[in-house]
Amino acid sequence: MSDSVLLNRAALIIDQVSAEKPADYVLRGELGAAKHLLSSEKRDIAHAVFAYHRWFGWLDQSASTQIRLASALDLQRKYDADPASIKPESLTARAVPDWLKTEMEITPAYLRQLQRPSSLWIRVQREFAAALPRSLGHCTAPDLSVLPGLSTSGQPSTALRYSGSTDLFKTSEFQKGVFEIQDLASQLVGHACAPQPGETWWDTCAGEGGKTLHLADLMANKGLIWASDRNTGRLAALRKRAARAQVFNYRAVTWNGGPFLPTKTKFDGILVDAPCSGVGTWQRNPHARWTTTPTDVKELAEIQIQLLDNVANSLKPGGRLIYAVCTLTKSETTAIADKFTATHPGFEPAPVFGSLATADSRFFVWPQDFDANGMFIAAWKRKA
């Protein structure tokens, strides 16, 4: 594909992007329908679209989409070759919207990470963790030894960074359910839950089931997981993924997040992977930097605390409550944890990872820590 054809194809996609139609959504639709394009050509188009939004703050908005796109690709090439070519003050002024600076500490390391293309992470079912890196190739395990209390017991890593060019969805291993595409930060949420075989868990905002499937694997498919979501389409996708992974110890139910719960079951553990502003995904989804607003953050924070309030009484005494959001704003992270702790004296903060007395009950994953999404995790134990 020539450069001019690439620019034109990517520009057509960019012109369709809006707050209601995010870049990744438009890309999936357009590239999925373009059966004549090679996988490498689709990757180049996606790279161009994401680079455009990554460098949006540097672009002349009076120029045509093609000219702006060419400028963005040039900036990306220069930055990839020499990150120091973009000065810290330029990153501070242009890489993120001004309102974010009142919601979180913005460091040079964080901003530099945002301007890099994101890595692809996969989660391998535990029984295949030793074999898959050999068969798939181009896999690197993260160093998680820096996380207090997280023990992998010397077992092969089930989290792998994939740097190859193969279309993973077409591999026999994916089609057999050997692995899932799942960011490392999301996998850490499963490890924070630390469910045990035979327990009963509730994944309250399960979406398409990425964390539900991880919980099932950690439980050796023994016990029961309730997986709820307000969107029936997401639950249909969850069922499809679960069938591929040979996971059957779950119940998928519709729940709108309100006070009328889908079950009277008392759970050993509850995961509230709440809707959020997604600021932690801005490296992977740079378009969202320019469509997310402070109003979004405020409204989502109200939903988050309400979700925690609504599910709290469904936890058994001694049970574990995990709150996780792929955002980094104060309003959706520490402020929510503070409010829940203050208003629920029957719950005490618990270590996020493991049972170490020195381990924190709140944990931030920053994009620059592991080249993964940003995430906030808080943990509580219900008092007996």
Cα 158 to Cα 218: distance, rounded to the nearest angstrom: 11
333-339 mean pLDDT: 99
**Average pLDDT over every residue of 230-241:** 98
In the chain, the amino acid numbered 212 is T
Rounded Cα distance, 293 and 331, in Å: 13
Return the pLDDT at 43.
92
Pick the CATH number of 183-382 from 3.40.50.150, 3.30.9.10, 1.10.760.10, 3.40.50.300: 3.40.50.150
Query: Is residue 357 over pLDDT 60?
Result: no
Active-site entry in 139, 193, 205, 326:
326
Percent of the chain at pLDDT > 70 equals: 97
CA–CA distance, 172 with 128 (Å, rounded to integer):
13
pLDDT in tens, 80-90: 999 999 999 99
Reduce the DSSP state of residue 32 to 3 states and report it. helix
Predicted pLDDT of residue 32: 87
Amino acid identity of residue 32, one-letter, is G
| Alpha helix ranges (H) inside 55-200 | 65-81, 88-94, 108-114, 132-136, 172-175, 184-193
Confidence band, pLDDT 50/70/90 cuts, at residue 360: confident
* pTM for the predicted model, two decimal places: 0.95
Instruction: Round to whole Å and give the CA distance between 321 and 380.
Output: 5
pLDDT value at residue 19: 86
Averaged pLDDT for residues 30-38: 88
Residue 251 has pLDDT above 60, yes or no: yes
Alpha helices, DSSP H, located in the chain:
3-14, 23-33, 39-54, 65-81, 88-94, 108-114, 132-136, 172-175, 184-193, 210-218, 232-244, 294-311, 334-343, 367-370
Let me know if 326 is a catalytic residue.
yes
Burial class of residue 65 in the structure, from the number of CB atoms within 10 Å of its CB (0-12 exposed, 13-18 middle, 19+ buried): middle
Q: What is the mean pLDDT of residues 278-302?
A: 98
pLDDT in tens, 98-132: 999 999 999 999 999 999 999 999 999 999 999 99
Question: How buried is residue 137: exposed, middle or buried, by Cβ count under 10 Å (0-12/13-18/19+)?
Answer: exposed
**Which tens digits make up the pLDDT trace of 175-224?**
999 999 999 999 999 999 999 999 999 999 999 999 999 999 999 999 99
337, pLDDT greater than 70:
yes
User: What mean pLDDT is reported for the chain?
Assistant: 95
Q: How far is CA 140 from CA 22, 122, 262, 311, 351, in A?
A: 30, 10, 40, 38, 28
Residues of the chain with CATH 3.40.50.150: 183-382
Better-predicted residue by pLDDT, 94 or 357: 94
pLDDT band at 1 (very low <50, low <70, confident <90, very high): low
Residue 153: pLDDT band (50, 70, 90) is: low
Q: Is the dihedral of CA 37, 39, 41, 42 positive or negative?
A: positive
**Residue range 134-163: average pLDDT?**
85
Q: What is the pLDDT of residue 234?
A: 98
* pLDDT on residue 145: 80
Closest CA to 241 of 280, 273, 210: 210
pLDDT (0 to 100) of residue 356: 59
- pLDDT greater than 90 at residue 154: no
